[in-house]
Amino acid sequence: MILDILSWIAIAIGAFFVAVGGLGIWRMPDLFSRMHPAGIIDTTGAGFILLGLVLQSDDWLVSVKLVLIFLFLIFTSPVATYALAHAALLDGVKPWTRQNLKTKEKDDRP
Amino acid sequence: MMFIAAAAALIAAMVLALARAFAGPTAYDRILAVNHIGTQTVLLIAVVGFIADRPDFLDISLLYALINFIATIAVLRYVKRGQANADKQS
């Protein structure tokens, strides 16, 4: 019973952070600030949802697979995000600042 | 019940990321959005496996996590220099 309540709390927290991350991907002003809600989904959202699923699982093999999914996400997501930021900076994508907003006439805003 | 709420939140976030993939000003925005649709698909497959009470879905989820990473790196290799402002010129 206590495990059920704990896993429901964890899944609720994870679902909240996933929803907030999705909203942030849509609402943030440019690419580099959109990477921040992306990181929220990859760490907090995925971590809490997988923690809740681990607490619900009966078999130890299921728990091991869930932990493996979390480890893969933890290792691959920063590498992908770093490669994306590196390629975008080399390509000449300007980070969004207040001065850019004034000079470029809100062109980049969604 | 909580699984269905988590699946609903994941689907809502996927819809928002899909909108960003359509609207994104540069190619890198689209790559970021597609990468995160992939991450949320991994979580959604795991949650649906618990809803349907079929733990075999976790293998598919594990495989999808790896393919998603490879796909992002591969697409970044193919995006050439000068693609950032391609949409604004046309």
Name the minimum distance, in Å, from the CA of B8 to any CA of chain A: 8
Whether residue A87 is predicted with pLDDT greater than 70 in this model: the reply is yes
Overall average pLDDT of the A49-55 stretch: 92
> What is the extent of the structural domain holding B38?
2-89
pLDDT at position A95 is 81
Stretch (H or E) spanning B61: helix B57-78
Instruction: Please identify among residues 48-77 of chain B the ones whose CB lies closer than 8 Å to any CB of chain A.
Output: 50, 55, 58-59, 61-62, 65-66, 68-69, 72-73, 76
Q: List pLDDT tens digits, range B5-51.
A: 999 999 999 999 999 999 878 888 899 999 999 999 999 999 999 99
pLDDT at position A49 is 93
**B85 exposed, middle or buried (CB, 10 Å; 0-12, 13-18, 19+)?**
middle
The first and second tokens of residue A106, run together, are 């809100």
Overall average pLDDT of the A47-65 stretch: 90
Q: What is the pTM for the complete model shown?
A: 0.84
How many structural domains comprise chain B?
1
